[in-house]
Structure 1
Amino acid sequence: MSVTDTGAPRRGADAPPAAAAPRRRSLAERLLAVRELGLLLALGALVGVTTLRNDRFLGSQSVKDLLLGCAILVILAVGQTLVIVTRNVDLSVGSVLGLVAFATGSLFLAAPGTPWPVALVAGVALGAVCGLVNGGLIALARVPALVITLGTLYGFRGVDYYWAAGRQINAADMPRSFLRLGNQTVLGVPLLFLVALAVVAATGFYLRSYRSGRELYAIGSEPSAARLAGIPVGRRVLAVFVASGALAGLAGVLYAARFGTLDAAAGTGLELQVVAAAVVGGVAIFGGSGSVYGAALGAVLLTTIGSSLAVLRIDPFWQQAVVGALILAAIGLDRVLFLRKAARLRGRSSHGT
Structure 2
Amino acid sequence: MSLVKSREAILFGAILLLLALISTRFSGFVTPKNLAGVFNDTSPLIILALGQMVVILTRCIDLSVAANLALTGMVCAMINVAAPDLPVVVILMVALAMGAALGAINGLLVWKLDIPPIVVTLGTMTIFRGVIFLLSKGQWINAHEMSPAFTGFARGVIWGLPVLGWIAIATIAVMFVVMSRTTLGRAFFAVGGNPHAAVYTGINVGRTQFLAFVISGALAGLTGYLWIARYAVAYVDIAGGFELDVVAACVIGGISIAGGSGSVIGTLLGALFLGVVKNALPVVDISPFWQLAISGAAIIIAVTFNARAGRTKGRVILKSAEHAQ
**Which bracket does the TM-score occupy, shorter chain normalised?**
over 0.9
Segments of structure 1 that go 5 or more residues without pairing to the other structure are 1-27
Q: Which amino acid is 1:197 matched to?
A: I
Give TM-score scaled by structure 1 length: 0.89
Using the TM superposition, give the Cα deviation of residue 339 of structure 1 relative to its aligned residue in structure 2, in angstroms. 0.8
Separation in 1 of the partners of 2:31 and 2:143? 27
Deviates more, 1:229-238 or 1:31-40: 31-40
CA distance in 2, matches of 1:199, 1:112: 27
Partner SS, residue 167 of structure 2: helix
Match of 1:331 among 282, 290, 303: 303
Specify the alignment match of 2:244 in structure 1: 272
**Equivalent residues in 2 for 1:78-89, closer than 5 Å:** 78-89=50-61
The residue type paired with residue 309 of structure 1 is L
Q: Which of 83, 88, 96 in structure 2 is aligned with 1:116?
A: 88
Matched residue, 1:214: 186
What stretches of structure 2 of length at least 5 have no aligned partner?
none
The code of the aligned residue for 1:206 comes to V
CA positional deviation for 1:63: 2.7
Equivalent in the alignment of 1:17: none
For the residues of structure 2 that align with 1:182 and 1:56, how far apart are their CA atoms? 25
Question: Conserved in 1, the CA contact under 8 Å of 2:40 and 2:161?
Answer: no
RMSD over aligned CA atoms reads 1.2
Alignment of 1:1-353 (within 5 A): 28=1, 30-59=2-31, 62-353=34-325
Could you report, residue by residue, the CA deviation over 1:9-42 in whole angstroms, capped at 9, with x for unpaired residues? xxxxxxxxxxxxxxxxxxx2x3222211222111
Structure 1 residue 166: deviation in Å? Answer: 1.8
**2:11/2:269 contact within 8 Å kept:** yes
Q: Is the 8 A contact 2:56 2:256 kept in 1?
A: yes
Q: Tell me if the contact between 2:59 and 2:260 (Cα under 8 Å) persists in the aligned partners.
A: yes
- Of 211-220 and 56-65, the range deviating more from structure 2: 56-65
1:332, distance to aligned residue in structure 2 (A): 0.8
- Structure 2: distance between partners of 1:166 and 1:61: 38
> Residue type matched to 2:242 in 1?
L
| CA distance in 1: counterparts of 2:32 and 2:7, whole angstroms | 29
Structure 1 residues 60 and 339: alpha-carbon distance in aligned structure 2, compared to 1, 3 A threshold: closer
* 8 A Cα contact 1:101 1:266, kept in partner: no
* 3-state SS, counterpart of residue 108 of structure 1: helix
Q: Structure 1 segments of 4 or more deviating over 6 A?
A: none
SS at match of 1:316: coil
Which moves more between the two structures, 39-48 or 266-275?
39-48
Q: TM-score, normalised by structure 2?
A: 0.97
Q: 1:337 corresponds to which letter in structure 2?
A: A
Higher Cα Rg, which structure: 1
